[in-house]
Structure 1
Amino acid sequence: MKFFLIAGAVNALLSVAFGAFGAHLLEGRVADKYLDTWQTAVQYQMFHSIGLIVVAVLMSSSLLGSLGSLSWAGYLMLAGIVIFSGSLYVLSLTGIGILGAITPIGGVAFIAAWVMVIIAAAKAL
């Protein structure tokens, strides 16, 4: 639980920092399509940072007793942030198009994470 709370807070911090970096330092230095890609990475990182914090809160409460499913959800969200957002950040900075082929793996991790939250809730109710 503590791990996911810290991971969520660290990723939220990084998301804000990366958003500012993109808005202030990348503008005019990379193509507009890459600025849009950067913004998508920032948004998904922040959404799932909040998701990690929610997972931590759910794990600490007695609301959902299925810690196994919630642990999977947290690890999958973290993996999704690294793979999805990470690949988009690198793509934006380098223009290496093949990185776009890696991004969907992170998207699948995000989807699987939310499925695990649903499973934890279904088991608890």
Structure 2
Amino acid sequence: MSLTDSFIYIIRDNPVSQSTIQIASSVLNKVGGLIPVPKPKETLPALMTPAPLPQLFKLVGYSGLFIRLAGLSGAAAVGLGAYGAHSIMNEEGNEHRKRVFETANKYHFYHTIALLAVPLCHYPLVTGGLLTAGMLMFCGPCYYMSITGKDQLRRLTPFGGVCLIVGWMTMLI
């Protein structure tokens, strides 16, 4: 519809204008004046069907692996959270292990949700790989230490943290 067609529709062809013109014409006809009522052009309504949107799972392509990985990681986070709530959090004392477990579980959940956005990134394999490696190297040793009390894997957590940070940064490019 062009600008002229839109203007004509607003002034003359829309139902409100047609009703107003007909009422005014009938009143003036009764008074004695004669105003011809223009007949609207007979047009068929334009039926426009929107283009079908591709299904979301088709958009992710080969990056759908990260959606599945996010599902697996989320299930693991829920399971580990339940285990921690019923075993570690019920133990008396050793607040440090409880805090470490809570931190690991919180970061595990956050980065599981971030994995869902990986297919939308420009470089999904790089971003997803870094986030996955970061979760394994950061959350894994934290879970291990809080469950067993041993801190042998503690040296991996800074590398996992760096992977997580760089993974988030790759979403910028």
TM-score, scaled to structure 1: 0.81
- State the secondary structure of the residue aligned to 1:37: helix
Corresponding residue number in structure 2 for 1:96: 150
Provide the residue aligned with 2:169 in structure 1: 115
Partner residue of 2:105 out of 19, 34, 42: 42
Please, which of 43, 58, 64 is the counterpart of residue 2 of structure 1?
Answer: 64
Contact kept, 8 Å, 1:84 with 1:102, in 2: the verdict is yes
Q: Taking structure 1 as reference, are residues 53 and 79 closer, same or farther at Cα in structure 2, changes over 3 Å only? A: same
The structure whose RCO (Cα within 8 Å, separation 6+) is larger is: 1
- Give the Cα–Cα distance (whole angstroms) in 2 for the partners of residues 107 and 35 of structure 1: 19
Structure 1: unaligned runs, 5 residues or longer: 60-65, 120-125
Residue 84 of structure 1 is matched in structure 2 by: 138
> Partner amino acid for 1:49?
T
Q: Which amino acid aligns with 2:103?
A: T
Structure 2, gaps ≥5 residues long: 1-62
Post-superposition shift, 1:94? 2.3
Deviation at 1:23, TM superposition (A): 0.8
Higher helix share: 1
Amino acid at match of 1:22: G
In the alignment, residue 159 of structure 2 is paired with which amino acid?
I
Identical columns (%):
31
Larger gyration radius, structure 1 or structure 2: 2
The answer on 1:106 being equivalent to 2:160 is yes
- Aligned-pair RMSD on alpha carbons? 1.6
Which 4+ residue blocks in structure 1 deviate beyond 6 angstroms? Answer: none
Q: Take 1:30 and 1:86, find their aligned partners in 2: how far apart are those partners?
A: 22
Secondary structure in 1 aligned to 2:91? Answer: coil
| Alpha carbons 1:77, 1:109 under 8 Å: kept | yes
What is aligned with 1:72?
126
The two structures have a TM-score, normalised by structure 2, of: 0.59
> Is the 1:30–1:92 Cα contact (8 Å) retained in structure 2?
no
2:85 aligned residue: 23
CA distances 1:48-77 after superposition (whole Å, capped 9, x unpaired): 100111113x15xxxxxx3xx221000111
